[in-house]
Amino acid sequence: MPSAPKSLVTAPKRGQIDRIGVRVLEEMVEMVVTGAVGIGDFFPPEQALCDEFGVSRTVIRESIKRMQEKGLVVVAQGRGTQVRHFNDWNVLDPDVLDALVRHDESLGVLDEVSVVRAALEGVMAGEVAATGSVDAHLEIGRHLDEMRRVQDDNPAFLEADMQFHLAVMAASKNRIAATIARSYFVRPRQSARWDGNNPVDAVPRTIDEHQRVWDAIQAGDAAAARVAMEEHILGSWRRRRLPDGAHHLSP
């Protein structure tokens, strides 16, 4: 019996190709984020990348295209694939943000994330205090009540905490600020570096800080709501942040 055509025997399935592409893209993003290929430098030629990763030109070209979309590289005709300046990177892109946090040895990225979050969520809390509906206020309050109810169940408490913040974002109706703040709230929480220290009084202090935010929102005091939210986010990160030189944790 004649053997099946070689293409039918050896051709990888679509799912295998997709997984290979994801792996290659992730590694190439990390090459940029870690500085293995520095800003202004060029990636090796296409064939060299094929040999390094053991993949086809199609996979490499698709990965480079995706990296262009993330603002990491620019393809210069006749010169190759060049790493762009950090200011051009799309740091809201999940792959880029995850890689930045994963390799954040100095915790500088998470410091900056906390500052951005505090500013954006502070503004949104103030907007909710000034213009939020009664129903929106009550929804935020329900998440605060849930935080109290599950305070002895850490996973459930963290979920209720997150829902409180997401409810404030949604109630602000500031879609752009909410989109940025959600990215900088949800993704970093997946990193062990974000957890850091766990002070013994973390839960009651967190509840008290959320209470101050909600009290200001209920009172319609936009300035107080903004300050309370900013102080909570920055204070919470300062409490959790490991000292410099003591943060070599797994991602």
Q: Is the pLDDT of residue 8 over 60?
A: no
- What are the tens digits of pLDDT across the range 115-129? 999 999 999 999 999
Instruction: Work out the number of other CB atoms within 10 angstroms of the CB of residue 147.
Output: 22
Q: Is the Cβ–Cβ distance between 73 and 82 less than 8 Å?
A: yes
At 93, the pLDDT band (50, 70, 90 cuts) reads very high
Using only C-alpha atoms, what is the Rg of the chain?
A: 23
Interval 157-193: pLDDT, tens: 999 999 999 999 999 999 999 999 998 888 777 776 6
Structural domains for the chain:
6-88 (1.10.10.10), 104-240 (1.20.120.530)
pLDDT at 171: 96
Residue 82 confidence (pLDDT) above 60: yes
With bands split at pLDDT 50, 70 and 90, how would you rate the model's confidence at 2?
very low
pLDDT of residue 114: 94
> Using one digit for the tens of pLDDT, what is the confidence trace for 208-236?
999 999 999 999 999 999 999 999 999 99
Paired strand residues for 74: 82
DSSP the chain: -PPPPHHHHHPPPHHHHHHHHHHHHHHHHHHHHTTSS-TT-BPPPHHHHHHHHT--HHHHHHHHHHHHHTTSEEEETTTEEEEPPGGGS-TTSHHHHHHHHHT-TTSHHHHHHHHHHHHHHHHHHHHHHHH--HHHHHHHHHHHHHHHHTTTSHHHHHHHHHHHHHHHHHHHT-HHHHHHHHHHHHTGGGSHHHH----TTHHHHHHHHHHHHHHHHHTT-HHHHHHHHHHHHHHHHHHHPPPTTS-----
Q: What is this structure's pTM? A: 0.81
Average pLDDT, rounded, for the chain: 88
